[in-house]
Structure 1
Amino acid sequence: MALNLPLPPHLSARFGTDATGELVVDGSREEFAEASTERLREAVLRRVGEIAASAGRPVQLMVSDEEGDWLLVVHPDGSIGDEEPLPEGAGDEEAAAPVAAAPVAAAPAASAPASAARAAGAGQETPSAPVTLLPRPAPERESFLYVENPRPDRAKQGVRGALARAGIPLAPSAAELRERAELDAVSRHWAGPRTIAIVNGKGGANKTPTTALLAAVFARNGGAGVLAWDNNETRGTLGWRTEQDAHDATVQSLLPATDTLLSAGARTADIGHFVHHQNADKYDVLRSNPTMLATEQRISSEDFDRLHEVATKFYRLVIIDSGNDESAERWLRMIDHTDQLVIATTALGEHAEAGALLLEALMQRDAQSARLARDAVVIVSQSERTGPASDVRRVAAGFEPLARRAVTIPFDPEMHGGRLSFDTLAPRTRRAWLHAAAAVAEGL
């Protein structure tokens, strides 16, 4: 049924991040809601194709999404064209230039005196000189190995990704390229184990969520071999906020078994008796015992060394939730074993000030601690729904002179109380944690 639309109709579409959007046709607004952002874009583009078919001519569509504003042309047959000019010959393969054969050197002619001597020999035989054949060099050619013929890079996300899958050769946006680079950074494996310490002397500064969610990002992208270790002797809650296996083992259970686990006969799976695997997020948790008094679970420097030796034998990446007592032997020994320091804080003044004072104190402790402080990453989380985002950015900016990087995490109710699970976070929170983990990975 033909639509009574003026020609050409004025069309614009806006896509949200929650699988809802709208199409405006000459001022008339049509709202869309789908199960996914990809289905949303397909529904809107299908509707615009109907409008183009009804108009009997191509129509222009202004698209607005998280990547910006840009124009498309939608034809009556439903095909879609990009208004942005594409490079000529994009994707064409260059014809391989023929390899010229190397010229063959002619045999040297006999010298004139030698010819004359042979002619005047009058039957006298002259012994011929031995002929030495020099090897001819092989003709130059291109190697068959390491011939790069990469496929043209195409967008995979957003509207550009949907159009690329439909056959329109759109390149990735700058935002998609940044995300790809950060995914690559957190997926790498290093030569030898690495230890990350999550620190702040003030309780409630978001150390435990930072430990668990960084572990989830590294394990989900880089594969197994990530341990989150609760090094807290004053009611550490990492075990409460993560999955528990069929056993109830803690650090105190592991300590008497260190000799056995460090022996040549220990098997990789033996560590499973003492840690708790996170099925969805792919990392393991070494719990403390929050039901015991601190005086009953002191760990000496020597004990920590043994525990760390076990951890780095079985895991490629160890992320330690430090606890709050910066004077404890286990806390100070943790710093000695750390490769990358992370200050966890919220936008609250007392949390941020405690983190800053800790960095300044470490600068004075020794050379190793000073290096860690200078190269630290600060992760500032918005702890209150009503707190302005400007507070988080202000705190992050305040740490920039003290640390290597300062990044921010938006408010997310899934981070406040209950079990921590990466899948339950909002998309923008997951993206922020990927950005934070990539900043940490730079120091490993």
Structure 2
Amino acid sequence: MGWGRGEAVDGSETGWGRQAEPAPRWRALLDRARLAGRGAEQNDVDHRAEETPAPPPETLPRRAAGTGWTGRAQGVARPADASFGAEPAYRVEATYRVEPAYRVDPRYGGEPAYQAEPAYRAEPEPRAEPSWRAEPEPRAEPSWRAEPVRPPEPGYPEPPPRGRGTASIESRYALLDGGYQPDPPPAESRYALLDRGRYRPEVHPGPEPARIEPPRIEPPRIEPARVEWRAPEPETELERAAGVLRRELGGPRVLAFANPKGGVHKTTATVLAAATVGSVRGRGVLAWDDNELRGTLGLRAGSARHARTIRHLIHDLAQIEILEGATLLEHLDDYLRHASDGSYDVLAGEESPRFAQRLDQFTVKRVLELLRRTHDVVCVDTGNNVESPNWRTVMQAADQLVVTTVPREDAAFSADWMLDLLHEEGMGELADNAITLISCPTPGRTPLQDDLERHFATRTRAVAVVPYDPALETGSSIEYHQLQAETRQGWLKAASVMLEPFAR
């Protein structure tokens, strides 16, 4: 039977906290018989009673003073709470009557009036959870810890759940006691991580494509380089000649073109030698007409931009020779003529024969010293008088003697005699180191030319032959660029032979 919170089947204890009186034995036997007689019908009723939810508990009535057991029995127990699985209360039939022999025990005192506790409420019946959701939903964390939910971006897998998966969260402290690790700080955007170069998106490898081996190509076999020594090509004679003229000469050099015989191309040789050296070196070359008997060098070389000659220079020599550097060059240029191509300068001789007596030895030395200060190569066309002071002075100051001749016997005899004179005058070294320059006045080669080459090869250091050129036959102004190539090459070789002993 249901007796509220406590059950008193055997009458040992009541629901009000005190010992119950033992129930009469006949009552227990009567209840057992009644239960057995109801049968299957009562079982169905009981089964329906179990399924029917119990009504909410009612407040028990206050129990009055004892009146004995006369009259109809009153049900004092409250219906059993079906939520705890108790059996339904037995109904007492109306035919039950108390035997007359029953008397109330005078020792039985009435129970105190029962007053239901106002705070008492029946516990609700727990609802059965489905088997697939045995654990409750985790409670949402406070707003100060909730993270914003970002929808997964297309093309990337959804990240796994954070924290400890789907386990029930009792409290933060209980999880910490069980090895709980706090959630990492909220992840930054992939784009922000990319900006710092840390994010690497996951790459899901797909099926590996079939590997196709490329055809094996053998690399070409490279033979080791072989170093072969080859002798440098020999320098041509013209290249060697031009190289000699470009070198430093160790100071200014004076070349004297001499032969007592007239008409042996002294003036022509002086002009062409200056033009050849000037065309290679570019500057610093001068041709001087030192013929006391009205020389023609000023007419055949240079431009007649003025009529000044050696006479005008000597007249102002005292004022010019005290100058230095650029000022000296500027003032000396007023007394010089220039070649049409600017390759060399010309100091023309005086046309008056009376001027010859003014070219004494002292004056010639002063003029040579002045020209050495302004030019590297000075080519001097000497006169025909070997006894004149200016002729002897030039021979004594010359660094290189050039003996000019033509393939004629008289011209060769005069050149040979001059060499003997130089030996007699104590200038034998100058004669031995001289250059014999044979100019061909006509085309072709004569037998006498071979004899002259062999003869002067024994008297001088070298013999140079320059070919015939029609541009020189007229006796007019000499233009170097108008000469034939063969003529220019011949003069290039001859000029290099003249300056070779001084080239460094």
TM-score, length-scaled by structure 2: 0.52
Per the alignment, residue 5 of structure 1 pairs with none
Q: Deviations over 1:148-180 (max 9, x none)?
A: xxxx99xxxxxxxxxxxxxxxxx75x5x52211
Q: Which amino acid aligns with 1:376?
A: A
Per the alignment, residue 479 of structure 2 pairs with 421
Q: Which amino acid aligns with 1:244?
A: S
Q: Secondary structure at the match of 1:378?
A: strand
Per the alignment, residue 344 of structure 1 pairs with 404
Q: How does 1:70-219 map to 2 (within 5 A)?
A: 89=227, 172=233, 174=234, 177-219=236-278
Structure 1 residue runs of 5 or longer lacking an equivalent are 1-87, 92-151, 154-170
1:224 matched to 2:245? The reply is no
1:383 matched to 2:441? The reply is yes
Give the whole-Å Cα distance in 2 for the aligned partners of 1:383 and 1:391. 13
Aligned residue among 325, 332, 336 for 1:275: 336
Report the CA distance between 1:389 and its aligned residue. Answer: 4.2
Give the whole-Å Cα distance in 1 for the aligned partners of 2:295 and 2:453. 26
Per the alignment, residue 345 of structure 2 pairs with 284
Aligned residue among 364, 374, 379 for 1:314: 374
Mapped contact 1:229–1:287 kept (Cα < 8 A): yes
Report the CA distance between 1:297 and its aligned residue. Answer: 5.4
1:412 matched to 2:412? The reply is no
Report the CA distance between 1:270 and its aligned residue. Answer: 1.6
Aligned residue among 293, 318, 326 for 1:259: 318
Give the whole-Å Cα distance in 1 for the aligned partners of 2:435 and 2:411. 15
Give the whole-Å Cα distance in 2 for the aligned partners of 1:205 and 1:403. 18
Report the CA distance between 1:258 and its aligned residue. Answer: 1.7
Mapped contact 1:242–1:278 kept (Cα < 8 A): yes
Q: Secondary structure at the match of 2:463?
A: strand
1:329 matched to 2:386? The reply is no
1:363 matched to 2:418? The reply is no
Report the CA distance between 1:190 and its aligned residue. Answer: 2.1
Give the whole-Å Cα distance in 2 for the aligned partners of 1:289 and 1:182. 35
Q: Secondary structure at the match of 1:442?
A: helix
Per the alignment, residue 305 of structure 1 pairs with 365
Q: Which amino acid aligns with 2:279?
A: R
Give the whole-Å Cα distance in 2 for the aligned partners of 1:90 and 1:238. 56
CA 1:294–1:379 in 2, change beyond 3 Å: closer, same or farther? Answer: farther
Mapped contact 1:378–1:407 kept (Cα < 8 A): yes
Structure 2 residue runs of 5 or longer lacking an equivalent are 1-225
Report the CA distance between 1:421 and its aligned residue. Answer: 1.7
Aligned residue among 441, 444, 451 for 1:394: 451
TM-score, length-scaled by structure 1: 0.59
Per the alignment, residue 489 of structure 2 pairs with 431
Mapped contact 1:216–1:281 kept (Cα < 8 A): no
Q: Which amino acid aligns with 2:435?
A: V
Mapped contact 1:377–1:406 kept (Cα < 8 A): yes
Q: Which amino acid aligns with 1:379?
A: L
Name whichever of 229-238 and 261-270 sits farther off.
261-270
Mapped contact 2:311–2:355 kept (Cα < 8 A): no
CA 1:399–1:294 in 2, change beyond 3 Å: closer, same or farther? Answer: farther
Q: Which amino acid aligns with 2:472?
A: M
Per the alignment, residue 159 of structure 1 pairs with none
Q: Secondary structure at the match of 1:267?
A: helix
Aligned residue among 460, 463, 469 for 1:403: 460
Q: Secondary structure at the match of 2:465?
A: strand
Q: Deviations over 1:196-221 (max 9, x none)?
A: 10000000011011101110111111
Q: Deviations over 1:348-386 (max 9, x none)?
A: 1111111111011101211xx11110100000011123x
Give the whole-Å Cα distance in 2 for the aligned partners of 1:295 and 1:191. 34
Give the whole-Å Cα distance in 1 for the aligned partners of 2:293 and 2:309. 14
CA 1:389–1:249 in 2, change beyond 3 Å: closer, same or farther? Answer: same
CA 1:346–1:281 in 2, change beyond 3 Å: closer, same or farther? Answer: farther
Mapped contact 2:302–2:345 kept (Cα < 8 A): no
Q: Which amino acid aligns with 1:279?
A: S
Give the whole-Å Cα distance in 2 for the aligned partners of 1:374 and 1:407. 15
Per the alignment, residue 143 of structure 1 pairs with none
Q: Which amino acid aligns with 1:285?
A: V
> Which structure has the larger Rg?
2
Mapped contact 2:303–2:340 kept (Cα < 8 A): no
Report the CA distance between 1:226 and its aligned residue. Answer: 0.7
Name whichever of 414-423 and 400-409 sits farther off.
414-423
Q: Secondary structure at the match of 1:234?
A: coil
Report the CA distance between 1:191 and its aligned residue. Answer: 2.6
Q: Deviations over 1:112-170 (max 9, x none)?
A: xxxxxxxxxxxxxxxxxxxxxxxxxxxxxxxxxxxxxxxx99xxxxxxxxxxxxxxxxx
1:239 matched to 2:298? The reply is yes
Report the CA distance between 1:410 and its aligned residue. Answer: 1.2
Give the whole-Å Cα distance in 2 for the aligned partners of 1:229 and 1:263. 21
Q: Deviations over 1:410-434 (max 9, x none)?
A: 1111122111122111111111101
Mapped contact 1:375–1:443 kept (Cα < 8 A): no
Report the CA distance between 1:316 and its aligned residue. Answer: 1.2
1:374 matched to 2:432? The reply is yes
Q: Which amino acid aligns with 2:442?
A: E
Mapped contact 2:321–2:328 kept (Cα < 8 A): no
Per the alignment, residue 121 of structure 1 pairs with none
Give the whole-Å Cα distance in 2 for the aligned partners of 1:353 and 1:298. 31
Give the whole-Å Cα distance in 1 for the aligned partners of 2:248 and 2:340. 21
Report the CA distance between 1:271 and its aligned residue. Answer: 1.2
Give the whole-Å Cα distance in 2 for the aligned partners of 1:430 and 1:251. 29
Give the whole-Å Cα distance in 2 for the aligned partners of 1:357 and 1:427. 34
Q: Which amino acid aligns with 1:403?
A: T
Q: Which amino acid aligns with 1:287?
A: A
Give the whole-Å Cα distance in 2 for the aligned partners of 1:405 and 1:284. 27
Report the CA distance between 1:244 and its aligned residue. Answer: 2.3
Mapped contact 2:293–2:356 kept (Cα < 8 A): no
Per the alignment, residue 23 of structure 1 pairs with none
Report the CA distance between 1:89 and its aligned residue. Answer: 4.1
